[in-house]
Amino acid sequence: MNALGEGIGAAIEGGLLARAVEPQAGEVSGHSPTGAVSCANCRATYHGHFCPQCGQKAHIHRSLAAIGHDIMHAVLHLDGKMWDTLPLLTFKPGELTRRYVAGERAKFVSPMAMFLFTIFAMFAVFQMVGIGAPTDIASDLFGSDDDTPFQADVREQINTLEKERAALPATSPRRTEIANELKGLNFVLAKAASRSGGSNKVVNVNTGIDWVDKKLIAKWQKNPGLMIYKLQANGYKFSWLLIPLSVPFLWLMFAWRRQYKAYDHAVFVTYSLSFMSMLFIVMSILSTIPGGGGWAVLLFLIASPLHLYKQLRYAYGLSRFSAFWRFGMLLISSQIVLMLFVLILGVLGAF
C-alpha cells in the first residue's frame, strides 16, 4: 500500500507539473452557449466559449461533479488535446512532431507537458509494481580498507537531515523532501544491518583526479547501497537533462540543413522521450503478468527502434537512406547520452 500511495502521489505530481506548463488554448467546454454571454469576471459581452478580454470560460460549473471533473482535468488533463496527441504520438510520431513545429499548437499537448506527465507516471508505475534498483548492497562490495561499517556514514546523514528538518518551519516544502530522503536512508540502514560478514579484498580505483577519487569514487566504494538509492531518487527529478544532452547530437546530424533549428530538435527529442516513458509503463505492467516478461522485452525490441525510425523519417521529411543512417547514429548517440546522464546522477549523488 505504501508503494501504491507513493506511486499515485508521483503521478499526481507529474500531472500538476505538466498542467503548469501546458497552454490553455484549444480547450473547449462541452457546453455551448446559444447566444450572447456576459462574462461573470470582467462583464464583457461576447459570443463563444471564452471571454475575449480575460479568457474565462463561458460555462460556469456549480456542482460537486464539476469539482471532480476539474481535479481529473487539472491533474491528468484528460481533454481533447490529450486524445488528439496520444494516437499521433504512438502511431504517427513524425507527423505530430512536424505539425507541432509548423505551428499547430492549440490542438496538441505540448512536448514538455507530455514529457513531465509521462516521466512521472512511469516512475509511479515502477513504484506500484515494485521495480527499482537494489539498495541493500553490502558496504564491502568493492572491498574495504578499514573496519568502520558504512552504517556510520548513513547515520551521520540521517542525523544531519533530522537537524535540518527540525530547524525548518512546519509549512516548508523542504520538510517533505527530507522525510522522503530519511525514509530511503533508514531503509538502506536496516537492510545493511541485517547483513553480516565481509571481505578484506580491496578494489582500488585511481583516476589521478583528486576530487574524483576522494569525493566520487570513494563514496561509491564505501556506500554503494546508499549511492544507488540516491541515483534512483534523482533519476526522475533530473530526467529533463536528457533533453539538452540529446539535442546537440541531433543538431550535428542536420548541421548543413539550415531549415531545421535547435527548437525543432528539442520538440523531436521531448516527444520521443515521452513515447519511451509510455512504452516502459506498458512493459512494466506486462512484466507483472505470468510469462509477460518475454512479451515486454519483445515489445521493446520492436516498438522502440520502429518508433524512432518513423519519427525521424517523417518529422524531417527524409528519404529512406537519409533516415536509415541517421537512425544508426541516433542509436549510438543515445547510448552516449545515457552514460552521460548516469554519470551526472552519480556526481549529484556524491555531492
pLDDT tens for 62-113 read: 666 655 656 555 555 555 688 889 999 999 999 999 999 998 888 888 899 8
Q: How many residues does the chain have?
A: 351
Where residue 22 falls (left for φ over 0; alpha for ψ -120 to 50; beta otherwise) is beta
- Please report the pLDDT score of residue 88 as a whole number: 94
CB 26 within 8 A of CB 80: yes
- Please report the pLDDT score of residue 202 as a whole number: 45
- pTM score: 0.64
H helix or E strand, kind and range, residue 46: strand 45-46
DSSP readout, 116-164? HHHHHHHHHHHHHHT--------TTTT--SSS--THHHHHHHHHHHHHH
Q: Which residues make Cβ contacts (< 8 Å) with residue 66, sequence separation at least 6?
A: none
Class of residue 290 by CB neighbours under 10 A (exposed 0-12, middle 13-18, buried 19+):
exposed
Residue 111 to residue 308: CA distance in whole angstroms:
16
Which residues on neighbouring strands pair with residue 38, listed in sequence order? 45
Residue 339 to residue 333: CA distance in whole angstroms:
10
- Residue 32 to residues 51, 60, 159: CA-CA distances in angstroms? 13, 11, 59
Q: Which amino acid is at 81?
A: K
Determine how many CB atoms are found less than 10 A away from the CB of residue 188.
Answer: 25
Residue 324 to residue 317: CA distance in whole angstroms:
12
Among 249, 219, 240, smallest CA distance to 111 is for: 240
- Please report the pLDDT score of residue 58 as a whole number: 75
- Residue 269 to residues 15, 176, 234, 237, 273: CA-CA distances in angstroms? 20, 32, 21, 18, 6
CB 240 within 8 A of CB 344: no
- Please report the pLDDT score of residue 227 as a whole number: 65
- Please report the pLDDT score of residue 149 as a whole number: 56
**Residue ranges of the chain with per-residue pLDDT less than 70:** 1-34, 60-80, 132-151, 191-228, 349-351
> What are the domain boundaries of the chain?
1-27+79-131+238-351, 151-215
